[in-house]
Amino acid sequence: MNTPSNLMYAKSDEWFDPSNGAVGITDYAQNQLSDIVFVEILVDEGEEVTAGKPIASVESVKASAEIYAPASGKVGAINKGIIEKPEILNSDPFGDGWMIKIEGGAQGDLMDSAAYEKHCEERAH
Amino acid sequence: MNKTGGTIVEPTIFELSSPGRLGVRMPASDVPETALPQKNFLRSELPLPELAEVDVVRHYMRLSKFNYSVDGGFYPLGSCTMKYNPKINEDTCRYPGFLYTHPLQPIETVQGNLALVYELQEWLKEISGFAGITLQPAAGAHGEFAGVLIMHAYHKSRNDTKRTKMLIPDAAHGTNPASAGLLGMSVVTIPSDARGNVDLKALEAACDDTVVGMMLTNPNTLGMFDENIEKVVKLVHDCGGLMYGDGANLNALLGIVRPGDLGFDVMHFNLHKTFSVPHGGGGPGSGPVGVSAQLADFLPAPLVGVVEEAEDDVPPLYGFVTPKHTIGRMKAFHGHFGGGLVRAYTYIAMHGPDGLKDISQYAVLNANYLQARLRDTYKIPYDRICMHEFVAEGQFEGSDVRALDIAKRLMDYNFHPPTNYFPLIVHEALMIEPTETENKDTLDRFADALIKIAEEAKSQPDLLHNAPSTTEFGRMDEVKAARELVLCCWLPENYETMK
Amino acid sequence: MTFIPISPNERDAMLKTVGVKSLDDLFDAIPKKHRFPKLDLPPALTEMEAAAHLSEMAQTNENVREHMISFLGAGAYNHYVPSVVDHMLRRGEFYTAYTPYQPEISQGTLQAIFEYQSLMTNLTGMEVSNASHYDGATATAEAVSLAYAQFRGKRKKIVISPTVHPQYREVIQTYSQGMGLEKVGDDESANAEAGPEALMSHVDESTMLVVVQYPDFFGRIHDYTKLIEDAHAKGALVCIVANPTALIMLKTPAEMGADIVVGEAQPFGIPLWYGGPYLGFFTTKKSYVHKMAGRLIGETVDSRGQRAYVLTLTAREQHIKRERATSNICTNQGLLALASALYMSTLGKTGLQQVANLCYQKAHYAASELSKIDGCDLCFDEPFFHEFVLCCPKPASEVNEYLLEHGIFGGYDLGQDYSSLQNHLLIAVTEMNSKQEIDTLVEVLKEMSHE
């Protein structure tokens, strides 16, 4: 399992990049969901979002999940690429699989990579 | 066109088509000809298949042979009640008087239909202990939606508008939260205790004046009758909530106990499960709803009632009545009359009170017999006398075989697999509902197969991972289906110039 | 013990294996005071008695094949069903199977429904069809749910034509109680006789969906192209409720630009059956497929490289999405979708065109003859297909009573739903109505107008 140390993590398996405001789902999350076939972004560019509120919905072959904002702020950009090709969330969750960017982001209740790894391990049992 | 690149086992009806081939002909017109509307009102082409009758028959005959069915074998699909469907139902529902009556005919000309609907309403009341019944909903989920609408309307009529919480046990079917979600209610999940009952402490903690009600399947999806059912109902009622019964598992209760007597306020029936309406490869179903007296005025409209009482030798006149505070209409016309209600009526008429009790007693006996035969081989996480179904774990210590593999391997033994991966609270669940229409030999053969498969899981696990191997088709590439989304086919591109 | 195949000896052996003494001992978990209620139901009938009893009930009805001449339509139509349809439906492999959750042993149902989807998309011209809904009314209500989900609740207005089937509009009302929608266009003050252009005044930037019917409830054929263009300019979706028999002949809703095309497919191979079960078809554009309720069959391959079919995009559905699902639907009308696929296949392109043409010709002959009667007139000038409104010299209810005495179901009394249309009969004519039946209707109405 990959958990880049420059990112911050939410309990609900989203990552947040404090350097540019990018948001996505973690490697652990994409693995749990398995083959992702549909992504819907629930917010528009310029919209204010609140940490903990739904920003996207993801469907895989066998499951569905809501994605929550890890930070509050204004939606600066939306990644159209993942809407066209949802499988990017499986193949590159921390890179091309970014979902939205949140500007002026005030982080919600987030963990560093070490704490998040522990959080994932606990759930494996 | 073969979009996904697989070898063709049976061509589609479009691929079988040939330009100029004729099927069933219609008579020539017997009226003077009228010109068609102007061309801009007409379609330019009609790209539909052209086949002869024999082509159609053979195509669908071949397709039918790819299906497993109750007529063909044992179908122990948990919570689906795949019982044998009596053949007489197929005749009665096709009597011309039922088949050829229009839903908008004057009531005087359809007294046979209306009497049947009225009597069936009365019978279902008697069987379930409810004061009011609608036969309008088209399926279980549709009845459930009607039931939740009724609960919503009841609280609204009392200006009790802060009630927005629906309590739903963790063993519930996903339809329950979806129905509540349609009315914007929030769902509070109530855990089960170690004996498979509703956890009373958790329930008590969740009960307050914001509760719409509780949606409970009883017996639940573990096949357990809740041993504290009266306490559960009381807790919900004491906080002002209503008790919703999911009637999916009613096959265990006919002549055994009436949900209305237990204090349930609303319940939907599944005529396609309990009362032998065939499942039809996924519908049509039929989902009547029963309610207690305080909710009768909220039922969907219209209901069938007596509009003129009987007098001496004149029978009563049946017609339509609209409940005073009705939630409205759930579908056009009067419910699944022909395909649902006539079959269920026939079935109940042929059973009578004692026959109905036999159904549930033997459904429960068969489930317990199978459970007893499998107990030493498969872990039964909630192990007590079950009702009409039980749940086993489809996994073994030290083996990577999963419930899915066991399910698929059963096909090689010519059985339909049980429901798997449900309920969610059991790991690798195999949910087994034999129904009352199976004999001891079938149950023994099924138990023997499952015991043999447990051995295979240890000795030859690949047999299971690669199952089924004896069926016409193997496991499916579901990712490809979802990614490529080929959802329809067409006539071949060069169709007009073919042949 | 009607359908229970267990002998007393086998029962006793099984009870012993379970470890209880009697059947009643299996029910100790049931509260004792409510256990084993005595049900007050009639005693059991044998098969022979049940057949006779049901037959007698059926014969109490006056049916449209043996007793009555019928011009009733209004959402349910008397069409001929080729013999093949029911013969194939009665194969136990089809009608006694469950939902095709195990695709390896359900390819018959799966391919048949995939073909149904394909037939429906080719008929409507749309890109995708689901595996069907309960009926035309509920399919229409599901179109509202799709639009609501598509705009994520941010648009909350629907504009409904007053000439959408009144019962369909009632069902939309019932279904949408939790959405907080604003519904306009079909209230009491609406001019039901106006054309589609009247609806545009209601459409604005908060409109999520416009619902119209084709042909409309009065049988009129409108070209909705302009309405759809204008609605799209405001960002709204448009749903057309269509009659499948009419679509055989008429310009497709897809050509007009519709976003969703739904309707009642009962005319395609399903008996009148006193109102059900019928078959709601639902077709739309591919871009809305994730917001569409209901089952969906997709093509794939199996582990042996064979073309095969599976239920796909199931994560949209209630059993996974639970309270976040667009709809709580579990089933479709599987067997009836098969019936309509059989109907379309057996008649084929040519047979279907013959049916549509017969409906059109006979309806126009009837309209022409009826309008010659003193005091009777066609209410509308627009083109129609197989249903039209006749203005009568007295209330339609009285006309129908008179016709009933002469063995005729005259038509649907529009006064029941439209207070301004008390003298108006909605008359449907299909291939089942002979010239002689039409002439009888005309004769009886002539007699009435002379009385």
Concatenating the DSSP letter of every residue in C213-261 gives EES-TT-B----HHHHHHHHHTT-EEEEEE-HHHHHHBPPHHHHT-SEE
Q: Are A109 and A11 in contact (CB under 8 A)?
A: yes
Is the CB of residue B105 less than 8 Å from the CB of residue C62?
yes
Instruction: Copy the structure tokens of residue C289.
Output: 């497929």
Instruction: Say if C321 is an interface residue toward chain A (CB within 8 Å).
Output: yes
| B380-429: pLDDT as tens digits | 999 999 999 999 999 999 999 999 999 999 999 999 999 998 888 898 99
C152 contact residues in A (CB cutoff 8 A) = 42
Residue A106 pLDDT greater than 90, yes or no: no
How far, in Å, CA of B438 to CA of C6, rounded? 8
Nearest CA in chain A to B481: A61
CB atoms within 10 A of CB C27: 21
Give the DSSP H/E element, type plus range, for residue A90. helix A88-91
Q: Which helix (H) or strand (E) holds B123?
A: helix B111-128
The structure tokens listed for C393 are: 């010299």
Asked if A37 and C313 touch (Cβ cutoff 8 Å), the reply is yes
Residue B2, pLDDT score? 59
Q: How deeply is B430 buried, as exposed, middle or buried, from its count of CB atoms within 10 A (0-12, 13-18, 19+)? A: buried
Q: Say which of C60, C300, C333 has its CB closest to residue B284.
A: C333
- Decide if C316 touches A, using CB distance below 8 A: yes
Tokens of C296: 């969906």
CB of A37 within 8 Å of any CB in chain B?
yes
The pLDDT value recorded for residue C332 is 87
Q: Give yes or no for a contact between C360 and B34, defined as CB atoms under 8 angstroms apart.
A: yes
- How many residue pairs bridge chain A and chain C with CB atoms within 8 Å of each other? 26
Whole-angstrom Cα distance, residue B18 to residue B50?
A: 6
Question: What's the CA gap between B156 and C254, in Å, rounded?
Answer: 42
Going by pLDDT thresholds of 50, 70 and 90, the confidence category of residue B443 is very high
- Reading the block at residue C328, the tokens are 């709580």
Q: Of the candidates B346, B413, B365, which has an alpha carbon nearest to the alpha carbon of residue B252?
A: B365
Amino acid B16 reads L
Site from C288, C331, C365 to mutate, B interface, most B CB atoms within 10 angstroms: C331
Q: How far apart are CA B183 and CA C12, in angstroms?
A: 50
Closest to B49 (Cβ–Cβ): which among C26, C97, C348?
Answer: C348
C321 chain-A contacts, CB cut-off 8 A: 64
Work out the pLDDT band at B70, boundaries 50, 70, 90: very high
Task: Give the A:B interface size as CB pairs under 8 Å.
Answer: 10
CATH number of the domain enclosing B211: 3.40.640.10
What are the tokens at B178? 């979806």
- The confidence score (pLDDT) of residue C131 equals 96
Name the residue facing A37 among C152, C313, C320 (closest C-beta): C313
Answer whether B26 sits within 8 Å of C332, measured CB to CB.
no
Whether B476 shows a pLDDT value over 60: the answer reads yes
Q: Alpha-carbon distance C228 to C238, whole Å?
A: 6
Element (H, E) at B370: helix B342-374
- Candidates B132, B143, B163, B148; CA nearest to B297 is B132
B14 within some domain: no
Residues of C in contact with A38 (CB under 8 A): 290, 313, 315
Reported as a single tens digit per residue, the pLDDT across A24-34 is 999 999 999 99
Sheet holding A64-68, edge to edge: A36-41, A54-60, A64-68
Residue A48 has pLDDT above 80, yes or no: yes
By residue range, what is the domain housing residue B226? 89-349
Q: Cα separations (Å) of B57 from B61, B453, C20, C84, C85?
A: 6, 38, 51, 7, 9
Looking at this predicted complex, what is its ipTM?
A: 0.97
Task: Find residue B269's DSSP bridge partners.
Answer: none
Q: Which domains does chain C have, with CATH numbers?
A: 69-81+349-450 (3.90.1150.10), 84-343 (3.40.640.10)
Convert B328-342 into a string of H (helix), E (strand) and C (coil).
Answer: CCCCCCCCCHHHHHH
For chain C, state the CA radius of gyration.
25
CA distance C384 to chain B (A): 8
Write the DSSP assignment of B188-227 as a string of letters: EEE-B-TTSSB-HHHHHHH-STTEEEEEEESS-TTSPPPT
Mutate to test the interface with A, among B427, B476, B479, B486 (most CBs of A within 10 A): B479
Is B460 part of any domain? no
Q: How far is A35 from chain B (nearest CA, A)?
A: 7
Q: Is C315 within 8 Å of A37 when comparing Cβ atoms?
A: yes
Q: Do C329 and B329 touch (CB under 8 A)?
A: no
| Cβ partners under 8 Å of residue B396, min gap 6 | B454, B457, B458
Number of domains in chain B: 1
d(CA B303, CA B326): 10
Q: Tell me if C54 and B26 make a contact (CB, 8 A cut-off).
A: no
| CB C407 within 8 Å of CB C392 | no
Q: Is the dihedral of CA B144, B146, B151, B152 positive or negative?
A: positive
- Distance from the B455 Cα atom to the nearest Cα atom in chain C, whole angstroms: 22
**Which amino acid type is present at position C151?**
F
For residues B467-493, average pLDDT? 95
Q: By three-state DSSP, how is residue C442 classified?
A: helix
Residue A93 has pLDDT above 80, yes or no: yes
**CA of A56: which chain C residue's CA is closest?**
C152
Contact B223, B386 (CB under 8 A): yes
0.95 exceeded by pTM: yes
The answer, yes or no, to whether residue B94 has pLDDT greater than 80, is: yes
Check pLDDT > 60 for residue A111.
Answer: yes
Q: Quote the CA–CA distance of B331 and C212 in Å, as a whole number.
A: 18
Q: Give me the residue from B50, B63, B112 closest to C348, CB to CB.
A: B50
Task: Tell which A residues from 63 to 122 touch B, by Cβ distance under 8 Å.
Answer: 87
Q: What is the pLDDT of residues B128-157, one digit of tens each?
A: 999 999 999 999 999 999 999 999 999 999
Instruction: Please report, in angstroms and rounded to a whole number, the separation of the first and last CA atoms in chain A.
Output: 16
DSSP state of C32: G
Please report residues of C whose CB lies closer than 8 A to that of B255. 36-37, 39
Please answer yes or no on whether C249 and B417 come within 8 Å at the CB atom.
no
DSSP C355-381: HHHHHHHHHHHHHHHHTTSTT-EES--
Shortest CA gap C90–chain B (Å): 8
On whether residue B32 sits in a domain, the answer given is no
Is A64:A71 a contact under the CB 8 Å cutoff?
A: no
Average pLDDT over residues B170-178: 90
pLDDT band at B9 (very low <50, low <70, confident <90, very high): very high
DSSP string, B44-55: S--------HHH
- Tokens encoding C40: 């007050």
Best of B13, B229, B420, B445 to mutate (most C CBs within 10 Å, chain C): B13
The verdict on a CB contact (< 8 Å) between C315 and A42 is no
The neighbour count for residue B65, using CB atoms within 10 Å, is: 14
Parts of chain C with a pLDDT under 50: none
What is the pLDDT, as a whole number, of residue A108?
A: 86
Q: How many residues does chain C have?
A: 451
B476 contacts C300? CB cut-off 8 A: yes
Helix boundaries (H) for B166-321: 175-182, 200-206, 229-238, 271-274
Average pLDDT, chain B: 96
Element (H, E) at B459: helix B440-459
Residue B1, pLDDT > 60, answer: no
Least CB-CB distance to B332: which of C96, C167, C332? C167
Shortest Cα–Cα distance, C85 to chain B (Å): 9
Contact status of C362 with chain A (Cβ, < 8 Å): no
Q: How far is it, in rounded angstroms, from Cα C141 to Cα C320?
A: 22
Residue A95, token pair as written in the block? 């890179």
| CATH number attached to the domain at A8-119 | 2.40.50.100
- Contact between residue B145 and residue B136 where contact means Cβ atoms under 8 Å apart: no
Interchain proximity C331–B436, CB inside 8 Å: no
The reported pLDDT for the residue numbered C449 is 85
Beta carbons of C247 and B43 less than 8 Å apart: yes
The confidence score (pLDDT) of residue A1 equals: 80
B vs C, Cβ pairs < 8 A, gives 713
Distances (CA, A) of B306 to B117, B156, B310, C17, C400: 11, 29, 9, 51, 23
